[in-house]
Structure 1
Amino acid sequence: MSEQRKILGEERRQLLLSILKDQGTPVKGGELAERTNVSRQVIVGDISLLKAKNEPIIATSQGYLYMKDKPSEVYERTVACIHSPEETKEELNILVDHGVVIKDVSVEHPVYGDLTATLRISNRKEVEDFVQQVTSKKASYLLELTGGIHMHTITAKNENHLQEAVEALGERGFLADE
């Protein structure tokens, strides 16, 4: 934190909300902390308070995102996949190469039930960033909890894009029901 004045309480939360709404893309917590001259942990708390007030903020692997109303012509499908952790990048690239946004990934854990992580990945750069983040933090993919079986919620502006993406996953042998 610098010598600048800390932005306090409700004023800071309103500034965070404004930044997230204006940005339209994910913003890292560290960047929000720098812009408001507080710690990253304070930002985590502020985001929790904003979510408790029903602000549509989600945490993605790329940062915090304010969820504006989605366009009315968005199609969505859930697809069951299976593959090794090493094939994750290939799977995600197949999806984004077909004009699909990977909204999330989920697994059914035997103890915790459904576990879902928001992804919001829409292009190869975001795929690369996601895989690099998992690798650099020595984190595990959720599919490692379930022997490779997982679900993705995918969206596209066109039903054909969804169908073509699912067919491409099937051709590669990544569909769990095949």
Structure 2
Amino acid sequence: MSSNERREKLLQILKKYDKPVKGSELSVELQVSRQVVVKDIALLRASGLEIIATSTGYIILDSVKNEFKIKCKNHSSDDELYDELQTIIDLGGKVKDVIVEHPAYGVLKADLNVATNRDLKKFMEKAATSEFKQLSVLSPNYHIHTIEASDEQVFQEIKQELKAKNILFE
């Protein structure tokens, strides 16, 4: 395999996953040393690709380019939480996480990964337990979600519906 073919295969591997891939896993998959992977990543970055190195591996930002941030009002009940999440998934979105800005601790983030009614049901079952506290209680007015959508139009529909339901924080 030529070096160009190897870099193309490396790119395909990174695009396939929406989570970081360890350099050691890439070197095994490509049958090269870890140092060759590091050099290939550097060359791919130089060509304009946004590849970031995290503590758990490499991820290409192009693989998550259809993610959008949205501010929502904090909930006063589980019904409001359910309505917010259900609205987003009904319109084709995936709620990747919740982010709050805590006055003392700064930005706090928790993964949700709610994309289907089944995911929502499991999440709401957890929310019904006495140990569950919404992360949004740590922030006075709003919380932020990262929404994954197939395109900008789907995201705008989600945003419009949340605004119509008085869920969007403006």
| TM-score of the pair, normalised by structure 1 | 0.58
Q: Distance in 2 between matches of 1:137 and 1:73?
A: 34
Q: Distance in 2 between matches of 1:70 and 1:97?
A: 26
> Counterparts of 1:98-109 in structure 2 under 5 Å?
98-109=91-102
Q: Distance in 2 between matches of 1:122 and 1:170?
A: 20
> Counterparts of 1:1-178 in structure 2 under 5 Å?
54-55=55-56, 72=63, 74-82=65-73, 83-86=75-78, 87-177=80-170
Unaligned runs of 5+ in 2: 1-16, 18-53
Aligned with 2:99: secondary structure?
Answer: strand
How many pairs align? 116
The Cα shift of 1:74 comes to 4.5
Q: Distance in 1 between matches of 2:144 and 2:117?
A: 20
Aligned with 1:118: secondary structure?
Answer: strand
Query: Structure 2: which amino acid aligns with 1:140?
Result: K
Q: Structure 1's 99 and 70: CA in aligned 2 closer, same or farther, altered over 3 A? A: farther
Q: Distance in 1 between matches of 2:64 and 2:128?
A: 35
| TM-score of the pair, normalised by structure 2 | 0.60
8 Å CA contact 1:89–1:128 kept in 2: the answer is: no
8 Å CA contact 1:85–1:148 kept in 2: the answer is: no
Unaligned runs of 5+ in 1: 1-23, 25-52, 57-66
8 Å CA contact 1:74–1:157 kept in 2: the answer is: no
| Of 144-153 and 88-97, the range deviating more from structure 2 | 144-153
Identical counterparts, % of pairs = 30
Q: Distance in 1 between matches of 2:59 and 2:145?
A: 21
The structure with the largest alpha-carbon Rg is: 2
